[in-house]
């Protein structure tokens, strides 16, 4: 009897010493396994008389149950401990404030572009988009730019390898201005108009008095590239081209449209424009457009915002139109410049550094 109690006590001590489930299963084997102490006791009963079997058997059973109970208690205790440890490491405090995800916003130059598109949109201008990798024809030749023009030189313009590896006389280039879009958009416009004429049976090739072309009125904003880098020049910058071609579009219309645009863009009637005579191969006459604010930090200074002019007859011809009949104006404005003026930013490079402390101020 005291032997049996000793077995129970030693089992309890052995189980209590186990800190991992695997240890506990090993300890269990020493008592309840095939050669465990209780199993051995039961085997030993075979040699006993019926009377002895009865009394000792009952006592062994009690012992066995006590060992099993101790085993189960320890098993549960270990499981609880494991669960508590896990809960402690995965603690979730549902009362903590959530981690807010910063909401993005548009880049200040994109805000300017949207503004330009909506203002010119309200004046009936389409918005066109075109390739940044251009060819010589659209960027220079079609725009009446002579072979020896400095803009064509390697140190003013980024030339790139032809994609298909086919050598050409004139490698592709990163467009140096948005003016190629004048030719691209106008030729597409003219082609579509002539196709409609052909369908209508109006005589595709002849431009009779009754089949006048719908006016070309378009802006083309986008990225442009030049080999240039300082506080006011970046190798990549943004321009927006404007083009209006019709039968009776004059320099006066350019002045009205651009003045209207500037007043709306800067939300001010307190500014004046100056059309300063200049030169561009693709316009004649040509003018730089300067603006001057009457008040504010920039008051009194003339600030250049665009190049402009009446589209040169050679360019009108390259659009597929008769320059004796069609006439109009074009302008190209610096969108980064307009953004700097609108927000009072004095270093262009800030726009392209990607510093959120700067960019988030425009949201």
The verdict on 120 binding ligand PHE (CB under 6 A) reads no
Residue 14 and residue 298: Cα distance in Å, rounded?
Answer: 89
The verdict on 179 binding ligand PHE (CB under 6 A) reads yes
Q: 31-60: which residues touch ligand PHE (CB under 6 A)?
A: none
Q: Give me the least distance between CB of 223 and ligand PHE, in Å please.
A: 13
Q: Give me the least distance between CB of 268 and ligand PHE, in Å please.
A: 24
User: Which is nearer to ligand PHE, 159 or 358 (by Cβ)?
Assistant: 159
Q: Give me the least distance between CB of 244 and ligand PHE, in Å please.
A: 11
Neighbours of 354 (CB within 10 A): 9
Q: Which residue is nearest to ligand PHE (CB)?
A: 332
First to last CA, the chain: 86
Considering only 30-38, 190-198, 326-334, 351-359, which stretch makes contact with ligand PHE by CB under 6 A?
326-334
Helix axes 335-343, 108-122, angle to 10 degrees: 100
Helix axes 37-44, 21-32, angle to 10 degrees: 10
- The 328-357 site mask, x for binding ligand PHE (CB under 6 A), equals --xxx-------------------------
Considering only 74-82, 163-171, 297-305, 307-315, which stretch makes contact with ligand PHE by CB under 6 A?
307-315
Q: Give me the least distance between CB of 286 and ligand PHE, in Å please.
A: 6
**Near ligand PHE by CB under 6 A: residue from 180, 222, 307, 328:** 307
**Near ligand PHE by CB under 6 A: residue from 177, 185, 189, 217:** 177
The verdict on 258 binding ligand PHE (CB under 6 A) reads no
φ, ψ of residue 126 to 5 degrees: the values are -80, 165
The verdict on 280 binding ligand PHE (CB under 6 A) reads yes
Q: Give me the least distance between CB of 155 and ligand PHE, in Å please.
A: 17
| Three-state SS at 248 | coil
Max alpha carbon distance in the chain (Å)?
135
Q: Give me the least distance between CB of 298 and ligand PHE, in Å please.
A: 22
Applying CB under 6 A, the site for ligand PHE has a residue count of 11
User: Which is nearer to ligand PHE, 113 or 286 (by Cβ)?
Assistant: 286
**Integer angstrom CA distances of residue 59 from 33, 65, 122, 325:** 19, 10, 102, 122
Q: Are 91 and 84 in contact (CB under 8 A)?
A: no
User: Which is nearer to ligand PHE, 27 or 116 (by Cβ)?
Assistant: 116
Q: Strand order in 303-311's β-sheet?
A: 126-127, 216-225, 236-246, 327-334, 303-311, 283-293, 271-280
Q: Give me the least distance between CB of 296 and ligand PHE, in Å please.
A: 26
Tokens of 166: 């086919």
Q: CB within 8 A of 139, min separation 6: which ones?
A: 145, 173, 175, 176, 177, 179, 180
Residues near ligand PHE (CB under 6 A): 177, 179, 280, 283, 286, 307-309, 330-332
């Amino acid at each position: 009897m005291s032997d049996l109690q000793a077995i129970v006590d030693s089992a309890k001590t052995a189980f209590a010493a186990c800190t991992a489930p695997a240890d506990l299963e090993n300890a269990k084997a020493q008592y309840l396994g095939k050669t465990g102490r209780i199993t051995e006791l039961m085997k030993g009963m075979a040699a006993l008389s019926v009377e002895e079997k009865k009394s000792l058997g009952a006592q062994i059973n009690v012992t066995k149950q006590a060992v099993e109970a101790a085993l189960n208690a320890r098993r549960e205790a270990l499981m609880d401990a494991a669960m508590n440890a896990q809960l402690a490491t995965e603690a979730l405090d549902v009362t903590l404030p959530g981690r807010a995800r910063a909401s993005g916003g548009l880049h200040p130059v994109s805000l300017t572009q949207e503004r330009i598109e909506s203002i010119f949109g309200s004046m009936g201008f389409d918005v066109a988009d075109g390739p940044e990798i251009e060819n010589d024809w659209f960027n220079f030749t079609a725009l009446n730019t002579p072979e020896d023009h400095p803009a064509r030189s390697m140190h003013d313009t980024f030339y790139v390898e032809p994609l298909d590896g086919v050598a050409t006389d004139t490698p592709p280039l990163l467009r140096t201005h948005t003016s190629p879009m004048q030719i691209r958009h106008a030729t597409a416009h003219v082609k579509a108009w002539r196709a409609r004429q052909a369908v209508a049976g109006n005589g595709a090739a002849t431009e009779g008095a009754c089949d006048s072309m719908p006016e070309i009125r378009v802006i083309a904003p986008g990225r442009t590239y030049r080999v240039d880098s300082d506080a006011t020049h970046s190798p990549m910058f943004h321009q927006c081209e404007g083009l209006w071609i019709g039968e009776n579009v004059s320099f006066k219309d350019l002045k009205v449209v651009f003045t209207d645009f500037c007043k709306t863009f800067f939300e001010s009637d307190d500014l004046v424009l100056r059309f300063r005579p200049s030169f561009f191969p693709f316009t004649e006459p040509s003018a730089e457009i300067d603006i001057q604010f009457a008040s504010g930090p920039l008051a009194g200074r003339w600030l250049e915002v665009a190049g402009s002019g009446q589209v040169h007859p050679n360019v009108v011809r390259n659009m597929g139109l008769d320059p004796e009949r069609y006439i109009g104006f074009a302008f190209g404005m610096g969108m980064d410049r307009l953004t700097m003026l609108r927000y009072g930013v004095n270093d262009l490079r800030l726009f392209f550094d990607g510093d959120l402390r700067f960019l988030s101020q425009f949201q």
